[in-house]
Amino acid sequence: MFQPPTFTRGSIGSPAEATVITTVLTRGPISRVDIARMTGLSQAAVTKAARPFIDAGYIEELPNRERTAGAGRPASPLAFRADREFFVGIKITSDELIGVVTDLRAQILHSRHRTLGSHVFDHVAAQIVDLVGELLGHDPAYRERTHCMGVALSGDVDRASGTVRYSPFIGWKDVELAAHLTRATGLITTLENDVKALTVAEQWFGEGVDTATFALVTVGAGIGCGLVVGGQVVGGAYGVAGEIGHVPVADGGPPCHCGGRGCVEAIASTEAIVAASRRAAGRENLTMDDAVALARGGHEGVREVFSRAGHAIGLGLAAMVNLVGPERVVVSGEGVANYDLFEEQIRQTFVAQAFAAAAKCPLSIRPLPFEAWARGAAAVAVQTLFTL
């Protein structure tokens, strides 16, 4: 019979526990010897930190597969039971909700989409509650073993208080969303900026697992950037660190919704590309798909729009790499599907503007399904549960 959850937010009691638990979660199966080697803890400290989680059924000891170096005893690797607990992740966009159920390793088990007919808070909150009910109703185990939820959306989000300070795509300011959803769903809710949530998923379960400093840049409706420095996601004193979308790269350029001019996002976001392509093609109803088709078909004016967008992104990437010095940069987002139209300009501009050896920083291009945004929100909930 399934045990009720023993650990809730704030249950991790020491840095050693946090280190051991996150190491097993992100790198397991892994032996105590390897954990000790990686973390600098003694094997006794590793065993002490892992024991409560083994007893509660979160961690299991796998059958002996190898012998510890020089000890003459078989090693029993430690691994998280991925189905010990489930998590809900919700991504709020301007026109829909994307919801997923994941396991402890943030692997998507079930997903649903729901159209938003309004940005009014009461409507959106009610739709989220209904979506959570649908997700958990898919499998009795989900309802029984789900206690935490992550919610992600674009904009200025205060994770500590669970408040949306400003979200331009849905027009919210100073909305206390997390507390409301916790009361309405019974799930402990963590709120995070969507790009930072994706960064957490990458840090714990993707390319960032063995990287102390890296950046995740998203290209699409907005231009976002999440930064990990010294193994920690950087929010900054005002919670907006990494906003390369609002780095000015064109003096006197087009106005941006942030109030500035010439921002990367004002030139390279989906909305900016569509607006510029309409002017270039002389077609008022042109869509992004139309713009892509024209550019790939050789329309010089529209191709130049994508080239300018690539130049702006390359400048933003170079500025970020020069300032932060990440080991690698992952470029993702829905706009990556059209990456062929501005890849050359991005790379040329980046190499030209990155300082000295920083130009060698690898750019890893990864398409991003929409469900990955919701997965990022769930990863934030996982992280919240297992960190100090």
Instruction: Please give the structure tokens belonging to residue 168.
Output: 């331009």
Query: Which band of pLDDT confidence, cut at 50, 70 and 90, is reported for residue 261?
Result: very high
Under CATH, to which class is 85-200+372-385 assigned? alpha beta
pTM, full prediction: 0.87
pLDDT tens figures, 210-227: 888 999 999 988 899 999
Q: So what's the pLDDT on residue 350?
A: 95
- For residue range 264-310, list pLDDT tens digits in order: 999 999 999 999 999 999 999 999 999 999 999 999 999 999 999 99
The percent of residues in the chain predicted with pLDDT above 70, rounded, is 94
Fold category of 15-83 in CATH: Arc Repressor Mutant, subunit A (1.10.10)
**Cis preceding linkage at 29, omega within 30:** yes
Domain limits, the chain: 15-83, 85-200+372-385, 212-326+334-366
What sign does the CA torsion over 250, 241, 381, 191 have? negative
Residue 335 pLDDT > 90: no
Residue type, 122: D
Of the pLDDT bands very low, low, confident and very high (cuts 50, 70, 90), residue 17 is confident
Given this structure, which CATH class describes domain 212-326+334-366? Answer: alpha beta
Amino acid at 203: Q
- Measured from the Cβ of residue 233, the count of other Cβ atoms closer than 10 Å reads 23
Distance CA 336, CA 339 (A): 5
- 85-200+372-385 has the same fold as 15-83: no
**Is the confidence at residue 360, as pLDDT, over 70?**
yes
User: In angstroms, rounded to a whole number, what is the distance separating the alpha carbons of residues 17 and 10?
Assistant: 12
pLDDT in tens, 156-190: 899 999 999 999 889 999 999 999 999 999 999 99
Grade residue 4 by pLDDT with cuts at 50, 70 and 90: very low
Q: How far apart are CA 362 and CA 226, in angstroms?
A: 16
